[in-house]
Amino acid sequence: MIVGVDIMNGKINSSINSDISSKINKNSRISFSKYPILPDLKYVAGSTFMHHLHPLTKLVLLIVFSVSVFTIEHWAGGILLLLILLCGYKAAQLGLSYFVRKLRFILIFSALIIVVQVIFVKEGVLFLEIPLPFLSITVWSVAIENGIRLGLRFINIMGASFLFVTITQPQSLAYSLMQIGIPYRYGFMLITALRFIPVFRQEFNQIKNAHLAKGISFTGISIKTVTRMVQYVFIPMIVSALSKIASLAVSMEGRAFGKYKSRTFMQRQVFTITDILVIATSILASICIWIMI
């Protein structure tokens, strides 16, 4: 009978806790699903052509694309690279809506770059002049060109990096790097760092919800809110992270991690003709765009 009561109390407590957690998540303004400054960086499983490419092929594509972004000076080249990037999202079955939803902050920040250039750069041909009672707003050609070029660079770099993370499994990437000669200790560091991201995100939500249940609010943007976040959320997270790192280090030492110079792999990442053709095509396309523009 006591056992039955305990089980019933456990069910009631769990249901109460779940209700409280759901209400807190609905009322919180800094939820990860709604707050644009914190996109959900994680691998999205799929069976598309982009997903099936070798991890090092995707890394080479990212490097070639990034070099093209910085070497092509004209804004028309930036627009062309953005169209190519959107085609990559489409090929990965992510689409334009996924691009806009996940990179909202990047798009807003790029628009802010254009506004700053328009305000402070007064060179070139005068496009527009708006007279106001206390000042006159002028828009110059060099300001627009610089703003568009810098904004497109920021969008292309961040968008390409996000696409790489979305279609590349971290474990496969680490194994590929180890198989070409990089010490497996560094590969393990990469896997561990990427796997801790969702753990810390979940712990952040738990700590935040616990303080919201106590009546501590984190809504609004002010110095007091930032100070409260540091005191009640980030300091406990740092302490928890150090504790996890210490436990992981003890576990690795107990298993004699790093004793041998080489290691074996359950699965080997093999280059195919498709990977070679994709790399060659990307390099040739980058050179052609650079020559034409």
b/e per residue 131-161 (b: at least 16 CB within 10 A): eeeeeeeebbeebbbbbbbbbbbbbbbbbbe
Mean pLDDT throughout 144-165? 91
Mean pLDDT throughout 13-34? 44
Considering only residues 276 and 188, tell me which one the structure prediction assigns the higher pLDDT: 276
At 32 the pLDDT is: 38
- 174 neighbors 190 (Cβ within 8 angstroms): yes
**pLDDT interval class at 67 (50, 70, 90):** very high
At 24 the pLDDT is: 42
Q: Which two tokens stand for residue 152?
A: 């497109």
Rounded alpha-carbon distances, angstroms, from residue 88 to 148, 178, 279: 22, 27, 14
For residue 34, what are the β-bridge partners? none
3-state DSSP of the chain: CHHHHHHHHHHHHHHHHHHHHHHHHHHCCCCCCCCCCCCCCCCCCCCCHHHHCCHHHHHHHHHHHHHHHHHCCCHHHHHHHHHHHHHHHHHCCCHHHHHHHHCHHHHHHHHHHHHHHHHHCCCCCEEEEEECCCCEEEEEHHHHHHHHHHHHHHHHHHHHHHHHHHHCCHHHHHHHHHHCCCCHHHHHHHHHHHHHHHHHHHHHHHHHHHHHHCCCCCCCCCHHHHHHHHHHHHHHHHHHHHHHHHHHHHHHHHCCCCCCCCCCCCCCCCCCHHHHHHHHHHHHHHHHHHHHC
Q: Is pLDDT at 57 greater than 80 in this prediction?
A: yes
Position 20, amino acid: I
Mean pLDDT throughout 76-83? 91
Q: Is pLDDT at 161 greater than 80 in this prediction?
A: yes
At 30 the pLDDT is: 38
Question: Model-level pTM greater than 0.85?
Answer: no
At 10 the pLDDT is: 45
At 40 the pLDDT is: 63
At 11 the pLDDT is: 42
For 2-6, 97-101, 106-110, 234-238, which range has the lowest pLDDT when averaged over its residues? 2-6
- 103 neighbors 158 (Cβ within 8 angstroms): yes
For 33-47, 92-106, 109-123, which range has the lowest pLDDT when averaged over its residues? 33-47
Q: Which two tokens stand for residue 29?
A: 């303004």
**pLDDT interval class at 61 (50, 70, 90):** very high
**pLDDT interval class at 64 (50, 70, 90):** very high
Considering only residues 184 and 284, tell me which one the structure prediction assigns the higher pLDDT: 284
Q: Is pLDDT at 60 greater than 60 in this prediction?
A: yes
At 17 the pLDDT is: 47
